[in-house]
Amino acid sequence: MTDKSYNNWSSMTDKSLIEVIGKFVQHHRLKQNRSQTNVANAAGISRSTLSLLERGEKINLSSLLQVLRVLDLLYVLDAFKVTQEISPVQYAKIQKKQRQRARNSSIDMVNEDPIEW
């Protein structure tokens, strides 16, 4: 279910997406051998709200989050994490500031001992 190539999410209707989420919740609830009543009570929602979620009906987002928390599924929210990305222009500026080669300065030459043949 976590394979991104499994579904073409953008071509799915909202109803289909909600059904996928409901099946995901139901699958994990059953895998944990928990009843709807047990999960609903732990999440602080009604059993009928959990039933609506699992059937692919519209529910409140906070109810979904509560259910995900109870089922220890909040890791799915990693997909929403925003990371700082560096733009190509910023990267080029950083690269330009980095030293590309060493200089052979006259100061270095004075401090060296003369080579005797």
Whole-prediction pTM: 0.66
* Whole-Å CA distances, 47 to 25, 37, 40, 88: 14, 5, 5, 51
Which is more confident, 93 or 52? Answer: 52
Task: Tally the domains of the chain.
Answer: 1
DSSP H or E run through 15: helix 14-31
Please indicate, yes or no, if residue 96 is contained in any of the structural domains.
no
Residues 6 or more apart from 41 whose CB is under 8 A from it? 47
DSSP state of 117: -
Please indicate, yes or no, if residue 99 is contained in any of the structural domains.
no
Please indicate, yes or no, if residue 89 is contained in any of the structural domains.
no
Domain that holds residue 61: 9-80
pLDDT, tens digit, 9 for 90 and up, residues 26-60: 999 999 999 999 999 999 999 999 999 999 999 99
Average pLDDT, the chain: 85
Please indicate, yes or no, if residue 54 is contained in any of the structural domains.
yes
- What CATH number did the domain enclosing 56 receive? 1.10.260.40
pLDDT of residue 107: 57
Average pLDDT of the residues in 11-34: 95
